[in-house]
Chain A
């Protein structure tokens, strides 16, 4: 079922949201591919202060590039339209402008939350957060001759980004005269470039680490502070009386992410990062075509990793926008305007953000991936999908009845990305497959209507299989999920009409799981034969 292709024109300007290093790097790389870029920063500057000159160079390069328009103090107020034709309202103070973009790159940053509560400490002049220490060091305001104690890794699971900040501060502390530094640490996570070296260097310079599983006892009595810990090496209680306690901070997804995810119609994960845990989206894709995520917008990533993402973003942007002539399947979902009642079900269900509405639902050709979830959820059957229209599917089922002639008749609706390949593999490798098996291709398990399944039973099928991708590995993100929800519902229907539930099987298969397919289909055949004997 190779659909014909056609060409449509799309916009090629690119919006990069986020003036941090990942955003600046992405803007440079995307502009380098020949696209005009608008880079927005919610602050009145782009990129942060940094420990080396690389980032300053990057910012200078972006500012000098005529193809990059930098809009400071600017936020995204509204996103309408579809991939290839986004209409974005950008707000700078009270002033709002609407601009057209073909693609959008989200490069928001990270935010921090100080974890003093986890240690039962109140912040004050002598108990400060990691951020406060960094500010003191940067301004050169830390007095000499002090004993500084770090508390890290007891308030949260350790991670390299948190550790890197401590190590950077230790390096800076080394330059302040007569400073003693102690690090009380739960777990030392150093799995990032250069951290091992920083850690070793700090030790050599006299920093003392206490690594224990139990959090240290911290007592604050007026000006006297004391940290007490059972040293696992010395096997005795150790007490340190610091002049300054530095409390670790959690590093979290940007608080703007949730507010951006909604208008952009992309999914955030449970930690608030804008990329789901689904391999199809790595490294920089979001759940929506034409919207890409870079650096800390997509995961807990360092500045360096954010800069690395920029190159990938530019490649993906070029792959999508090309020269503005986008080839799309002529086989995308189609709305019958006479039947559509704008109930918004399709708009709410589409995993690709490809549907909007005017007086009726409209499916954007540039964004539709042809999964068919909308068509299968539409309460009026007002949406039909190219080669997989309801009539064609009904005919396929009917034809199977006439041609198979073998008993029992088992209809398998197969996602073409996984289930169908598994069935073909089973046949090619000569694994056992029921004689009366009829495989019907669907573009995604999300296109398996409840109606098709019931139709198969009504036509006389003895069993029906829904063969989906694994959850988290569906190209349309939710197709397998929709199929499993519908299967659960049909099982209830089967029970209410007195058919055994095992006449319906919903199974997730990878395309190389021919053996598994053979097992479950043969088991279904065996169970049907047993019941009818």
Chain B
């Protein structure tokens, strides 16, 4: 899932200075699961805002809403009837959701309520680890299911650097060396020959926003774009 963390309150409060009617919208999917931007967090943020503004003598009116996914326009459309009642929106979704919300309501200032941090897994309640950088060219098949792009500080793709340090990374002894972990995993599966395969360097240049049309949907997209 996409993992986010709540933005510092002062930052949110600063962005909302001058707005007296604010709608905070939670997202029911990734950010709800990682306990950063679900309904509960949206309502809590509103309470925090109301309290802070009350203390400052500038009361604020807030509303909270929850949508299934802020990355689908149809779900955002469910807010059409209430958005007009507010001066600004705080989206508790990931960066994609915030931007889609801002696209849906271009007249309305939309502010992020969370920092979108990584694609990761849930270790325990409230505890998440990054696992994927969405590089677009998955190597996990040859690296024993451990991602060197994410786990190696240098994102090396063909073995460790000279700084590998007794199972740890040179940056920090608490950070495991990705390539040591890959070696151990492959050795355990008798697939060490994989480690000798040369992986071509990733072309990180000229990154532009990516668009994907799934196989089988190119013609559908073309048919719909004609209209």
The CA-CA distance from A270 to B225 in the complex, in Å, is: 12
CB contact between A485 and one of B68, B72, B220 (< 8 Å): that residue: B220
Q: How far is the CA of A270 from the CA of B223 in the complex (A)?
A: 12
Q: List, in ascending order, chain A residues with CB within 8 A of B226's CB.
A: 270
Q: How many residues of B contact A (CB 8 A)?
A: 15
B184-227 to A contact mask, C-beta < 8 Å, 1/0: 00000000000000000000000000000001110110010011
In B72-96, the 8 Å CB interface with A consists of: 72, 74-75, 80-81
Across the interface, A489 reaches (CB within 8 A) one of B68, B72, B216, B227, namely B216
Which B residue's beta carbon lies closest to that of A450? B216
For residue A99, CB closer than 8 A to chain B, the reply is: no
Question: Within the complex, what minimum Cβ distance (angstroms) separates A380 from chain B?
Answer: 15
Contact indicator A344/B72 (Cβ below 8 Å): yes
- B216–A486 contact, CB under 8 A? yes
Given the known interface contacts A342-B68, A481-B223, the answer about A489 and B215 at a Cβ–Cβ threshold of 8 Å is yes
- Least CB distance from B79 to A in Å reads 13
- Contact between chains at B215 and A485 (CB < 8 Å): no
Residues in A with CB closer than 8 Å to B223 are: 481
Chain A 469-494 interface mask (CB, 8 Å, partner B; 1/0): 00000000000010011101100100
B215 closest partner in A (C-beta) = A489
> Chain A: which residue is nearest B223 at the CB level?
A481
A-B interface contact total, Cβ < 8 Å: 26
Interface of A is mostly: helix
Distance in angstroms between the alpha carbons of A459 and B81 in the assembled complex: 53
Q: CA of A481 to CA of B75 in the docked complex: distance in angstroms? A: 27
Chain A residues closer than 8 Å to B68, beta-carbon distance? 342, 357, 359
A485 touches B216 (CB 8 A): yes
User: Whole-angstrom distance from the CB of B226 to the nearest CB of chain A?
Assistant: 8
CA–CA, A484 and B223, complex, Å: 13
CB < 8 Å neighbour of A344 from B74, B216, B217, B227: B74
Interface core residue of B75, B216, B227 (most chain A CB under 10 Å): B216
Q: Can you name the residue of chain A whose Cβ is closest to the Cβ of B219?
A: A485
Residue contact B72 to A488, C-beta cutoff 8 Å: no
Query: Is there a chain B Cβ closer than 8 Å to A347's Cβ?
Result: yes
Residues of A within 8 A of B69 (CB): 342
Residues of A within 8 A of B219 (CB): 484-485, 488
- For residue A481, which residues in chain B have a CB less than 8 angstroms away from its CB? 223
Complex: A485 Cα to B224 Cα, angstroms: 13
Instruction: Tell me the bound Cα distance from A143 to B74 in angstroms.
Output: 57
A496: min CB distance to chain B, Å = 11
- Complex Cα gap A489–B215 (Å): 7
Chain B residues with CB under 8 A of A486: 216
Q: Which residues of A contact B75 (CB under 8 A)?
A: 344
CA distance A492 to B217 in the complex (A): 13
Give which listed residue, A78, A347, A489, A492, contacts B74 with CB less than 8 A: A347
Q: Which of A330-385 contact B (CB under 8 A)?
A: 342, 344, 347, 357, 359
CB distance from B65 to the nearest CB of A (A): 15
B96–chain A nearest beta-carbon distance, Å = 15
| Chain A residues within an 8 Å CB radius of B217 | 485
B81: chain A residues at CB < 8 Å are 78
Q: Which residues of B contact A450 (CB under 8 A)?
A: 216
Give every chain B residue within 8 A of A484 (Cβ-Cβ): 219
A450 to B223, CA, bound (A): 20
Closest-CB distance, B222 to chain A (whole angstroms): 10
Question: Hey, which chain A residues are within 8 Å of B215, CB to CB?
Answer: 489, 492
The 8 A CB mask of B48-71 against A (1 = contact, 0 = none) is: 000000000000000000001100
Closest residue on chain B to residue A488 by CB atoms: B219
B112, chain A: closest CB distance, angstroms: 24
Which residues of chain A come closer than 8 Å to B80, judged between CB atoms? 78
For the complex formed, measure the closest distance between the CB of A209 and the CB atoms of chain B, giving whole angstroms: 39
The distance in angstroms between the C-alpha atoms of A488 and B219, with both chains bound, is: 10
Report the separation of the CA atoms of residues A489 and B223 in the bound assembly, to the nearest whole angstrom.
16
A303 to B216, CA, bound (A): 44
Q: Across the two chains, which residue of chain B brings its CB closest to A486?
A: B216
Interface residue ranges of A265-284 to B (CB < 8 Å): 268, 270
> Which chain A residues border B72 with CB–CB below 8 Å?
344
- Which chain B positions have C-beta within 8 A of A485? 216-217, 219-220
Once the chains are docked, how many angstroms separate the CA of A492 from the CA of B69? 33
Q: How far is the CB of B28 from chain A (nearest CB, A)?
A: 9
* A396, B106: Cα distance in complex, Å: 53
Which chain B positions have C-beta within 8 A of A492? 215
The minimal Cβ–Cβ distance linking B66 to chain A, given in whole angstroms, is 11
Shortest CB-to-CB span from A448 to chain B, Å, is: 13
Q: Smallest Cβ distance from A271 to chain B, in angstroms?
A: 12
- In chain A, residues 259-318, which have Cβ atoms closer than 8 Å to a Cβ of chain B? 268, 270
Output the least CB separation between B87 and chain A (Å): 19
Q: Residue-by-residue, is A424-464 near B (CB-CB < 8 Å gives 1, otherwise 0)?
A: 00000000000000000000000000100000000000000
Instruction: Determine the residue in chain B with the shortest Cβ distance to A347.
Output: B74
| Distance between Cα atoms of A492 and B216 in the complex (Å) | 10
Interchain CA distance A481-B221 in the complex, whole Å: 12
Report how far A268 CA is from B227 CA in the complex, Å. 9
| In the bound complex, CA of A245 to CA of B129 (Å) | 76
List of B residues within 8 angstroms of A488 by Cβ = 216, 219
> How near does chain A come to B157, taking the closest CB pair, in angstroms?
26
Closest chain A CB from B32 CB (angstroms): 13
A412 → B minimal CB distance (Å): 21
Complex CA distance for A484 and B69, rounded to whole angstroms: 31
Shortest distance from the beta carbon of A220 to any chain B beta carbon, whole Å: 40
Which residues does A use to contact B, with CB under 8 Å? Answer: 78, 268, 270, 342, 344, 347, 357, 359, 450, 481, 484-486, 488-489, 492
Return 22 A-B CB contacts under 8 Å, by A number.
A78-B80, A270-B226, A270-B227, A342-B68, A342-B69, A344-B72, A344-B74, A347-B74, A357-B68, A359-B68, A450-B216, A481-B223, A484-B219, A485-B216, A485-B217, A485-B219, A485-B220, A486-B216, A488-B216, A488-B219, A489-B216, A492-B215
Known: A342-B68, A342-B69, A489-B215. 6 other contacts (CB 8 A): A359-B68, A450-B216, A484-B219, A485-B217, A485-B220, A488-B216
B residues near A (Cβ < 8 Å) are 68-69, 72, 74-75, 80-81, 215-217, 219-220, 223, 226-227
Top 3 A-B pairs ranked by shortest CB distance?
A489-B216, A485-B219, A342-B68
